[in-house]
Amino acid sequence: MKQKVVLEVVMKCQKCRKESLKVAAKQDGVSYVGLEGQEKNKVVVIGDGVDAIKLTTELRKKVGHAQIISLVEQK
């Protein structure tokens, strides 16, 4: 089942944004990764069986503070 996960991540520079996209893309089952928001501080991940908790933990380790904004199942 496809899921759309939106995470808010504290990113201070372009390097942080690039790293957050890399971390998200490495997760199992990911089919789309992108940035949203006026300040490009939201990471959007769409895929099958994406583990939102694991993704959030990895982003916290590599980039900075991260929190889940929404987790929605898509048809």
Q: Is 20 exposed, middle or buried (0-12, 13-18, 19+ CB in 10 A)?
A: buried
Give the orientation angle of helix 14-25 with respect to helix 52-62, to 10 degrees. 150
Spell out the domains of the chain, with CATH numbers in brackets.
2-74 (3.30.70.100)
pLDDT classification of 1: cutoffs 50, 70, 90? confident
DSSP assignments along 6-59, one per residue = EEEE---SHHHHHHHHHHHHTSTTEEEEEEESTTS-EEEEEEES--HHHHHHHH
pTM of the model as a whole = 0.90
Of all residues in the chain, the percent with pLDDT exceeding 70 is: 100
Give per-residue pLDDT as tens, 30-41: 999 999 999 999
